[in-house]
């Protein structure tokens, strides 16, 4: 039973290439959200996106450092 539906919503997850960030991305994608994976390593983001896409998730990658205000503003 799906407790909540995030279809039509978009979630930006920082640190999404592994660990807690990846788990959050999995959960949000599983609830129907389009997820944007963020991190500082493009190759790690691409690998994480491939893993999620295998299960039909709508995934995009956005590489920038969230501690750099200019990079974050430009990306968003």
pLDDT at 61: 96
Cα 52 to Cα 60: distance, rounded to the nearest angstrom: 10
What confidence tens digit (pLDDT) does each residue in 60-76 have?
999 999 999 999 999 98
Average pLDDT rounded to a whole number, residues 28-37: 96
The CATH number assigned to the domain with range 10-67 reads 3.40.50.720
The pTM score is 0.88
Percent of the chain with pLDDT over 90: 89
Query: What per-residue confidence (pLDDT) applies to 2?
Result: 62
Helix (H) or strand (E) holding 70: helix 69-75
């Amino acid at each position: 039973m799906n407790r909540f539906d995030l279809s039509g919503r978009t979630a930006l997850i920082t640190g999404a290439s592994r660990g807690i960030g990846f788990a959050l991305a999995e959960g949000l994608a599983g609830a129907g959200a389009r997820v944007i994976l963020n991190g500082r390593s493009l190759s790690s983001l691409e690998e994480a996106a491939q893993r999620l896409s295998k299960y039909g998730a709508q995934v995009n990658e956005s590489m920038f450092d969230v501690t750099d205000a200019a990079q974050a503003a430009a990306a968003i």
